[in-house]
Amino acid sequence: MQELMMKFQEIYNGEDVRAVRSPLRICPIGAHSDHQGGRVSGMALDASVDMIYSPTEDGYVRIQSMDFPDKELFHITHDAEYIPGFWGTYIRGAVMALRQDYVLKKGINAIVSGKLPIGGLSSSAAVTTAYLMALCDANDIEVSKMDIIQYSHWVETQFIGLKNGILDQSANVLSMDNQLMVMDCLSNEHEMIQKGADMPEFEVVVVYSGISKQLISTDFNNRTDELRVGGWLLQDLSGMPITPALENVKLRNIPTEVYEDYKDQLPERLRKRAAHFYTEQKRVVDGAKAWAEGDIEKFGQLMFESGESSFYQYESGIPEMQSIFYLLKECKGVYGARPSGAGYRGAVIGLIDPAYKEEIKAKIDANYPVRHPEIKDLYEVNFCKTADGAHLVKDLEGMKE
């Protein structure tokens, strides 16, 4: 953070300097179900998107990224357009989201930087939260955590066009260190579950595959539509009232008993998608119980099962991430692992015994580059701890890197 501060002063030489730290997140269990109103779990990491900023009286937004070329510059009254592939899309969307309900008078000068490779840890939600919090702070707008989540979700669904749920934003904003966030995406209610007293020390391994791709150019939206079509057919087969609009179909509104009674009549592709959702929902419930009891072995096993289901029922994996998953599954000291994010690019995450960090990294380094030599210089193995959710940094002098 101090290095970022120095760069900010070099570029802007600003006064009234402020900061926001917005963590990356993992979803240990519950993936691919938030857009269906399902229950999900999440944790924030001590790896984050950090931003130094100061309010601007002229209403201009000026942002420079330490991770991407080019600069972003526009006035807050300008109807900014979505530009595919451009990192500035998220600040544009944040401004447009807030302008639905507020008159923005101040812009920001800012410099932003992330800590880990982008892909699979929802850096998009993290940076959007940072922008929203900074804009609200600069304009003296008071919003709740749930407001930030909803505005950030609007950016990804309405401004960018993804058909995702609120898992990423919720984990990014609501998480607390050493606790498991469990969010009901149908009611937006959540609970924070403290780890059991007997749970051993653990860390999070994040193995970046070397593959980065925007979700808008993958099968991500197709998968969500397949779940909805499967739900539509279950309604029809069971005699339930049929939801008129496909985008409003949620498997969470269809009882598990209906799925069990009629799943064999679904086309194979849709049956597999539904199977992932319903089994994943049970894993979230079982995982929350294991976490509260301090049973990290049981929790890790549920993560492995979730990963298998994501690959073979939801069919969202790529070969590189499957390689990492099975390498981690073979490693001593890995409690559990699963692909992170949508599974079309990014990372595989796992909960590990810190005593085995060197062995785990050595296993990946010895095997992954051999299996995928074309990206041998791009992958990374990182180790993280859990952390609190996004927050404004009050003590800039005391903030550690």
Structure tokens at 249: 């179909």
Average pLDDT (301-316) is 96
Per-residue confidence band for 211, with pLDDT thresholds at 50, 70 and 90: confident
Local confidence band at 342 (pLDDT 50, 70, 90 cut-offs): low
pLDDT of 368 higher than 80: yes
Q: Domains of the chain, with CATH numbers?
A: 2-193 (3.30.230.10), 203-387 (3.30.70.890)
Percent of all residues in the chain with a pLDDT value above 70, rounded to a whole number: 95
Q: CA separation (Å) from 125 to 40, 132, 298?
A: 16, 10, 29
pLDDT of residue 119: 63
pLDDT confidence of residue 344? 64
Token pair for residue 220?
A: 């991500």
Report the candidate in 89, 300, 63, 118 with the shortest Cα–Cα distance to residue 199. Answer: 300
Residue 343 has pLDDT above 70, yes or no: no
End-to-end CA distance of the chain: 5
- pTM: predicted TM-score of the whole model, two decimal places: 0.91
CA-CA distance, 8 to 275, in Å (whole number)? 49
Calculated CA dihedral for residues 205, 210, 213, 219, nearest 10 degrees: -70
Arithmetic mean of pLDDT, 72-101: 93
CB-based contacts of 373, cutoff 8 Å, min separation 6:
none
Q: Which carries the bigger pLDDT value, residue 341 or residue 280? A: 280
Given a cut of 80, whether residue 120 has pLDDT beyond it is no
**Kind plus residue range of the DSSP H or E element containing 309:** helix 296-312
Look at strands 347-352 and 334-339 and give their pairing: antiparallel
Confidence at residue 14, expressed as pLDDT on a 0 to 100 scale: 83
Catalytic sites, residue numbers: 168
pLDDT band at 70 (very low <50, low <70, confident <90, very high): confident
Measured at the alpha carbon of residue 181, what is the angle toward residues 178 and 183, in degrees to the nearest 5?
180
C-beta neighbour count of 20 within 10 angstroms:
23
Using CB atoms within 10 Å of the CB of residue 35, give its burial: 0 to 12 exposed, 13 to 18 middle, 19+ buried: buried
**Mean pLDDT along residues 283-302:** 98
Confidence at residue 217, expressed as pLDDT on a 0 to 100 scale: 45
Which pair of tokens denotes residue 80? 């900014």
Instruction: Write the burial class of residue 286 (CB in 10 Å: 0-12 exposed, 13-18 middle, 19+ buried).
Output: middle
- From 142, 169, 146, 145, select the one nearest 157 (Cα to Cα): 169
From 46-60, 78-92, 168-182, the region with the lowest mean pLDDT: 78-92
Question: At 62, is the secondary structure helix, strand, or coil?
Answer: strand
Q: How many CB atoms sit inside 10 A of residue 176's CB?
A: 16
**Region 389-397 average pLDDT:** 86
Mean pLDDT across the chain = 92
pLDDT digits (tens, 9 = 90+) for 262-291: 999 999 999 999 999 999 999 999 999 999
Residue % of the chain over a pLDDT of 90: 82
Q: What is the pLDDT of residues 372-383, one digit of tens each?
A: 999 999 999 999
Cβ neighbours of 238 (radius 10 Å): 15
pLDDT at 208: 92
Q: What is the Cα–Cα distance from 76 to 61, expressed in whole angstroms?
A: 7
Return the pLDDT at 318. 86
Q: What's the whole-number mean pLDDT along residues 118-127?
A: 80
For residues 140-166, average pLDDT: 93
Q: At a CB cut-off of 8 Å and minimum separation 6, what does 150 contact? A: 166
For residues 274 and 227, the answer to whether their CB atoms sit within 8 Å is yes
Question: Letter for the amino acid at 49?
Answer: V
The SS3 call for residue 115 is: coil
- What does the block give as tokens for 218? 């993958």
Q: Is the pLDDT of residue 400 over 60?
A: no
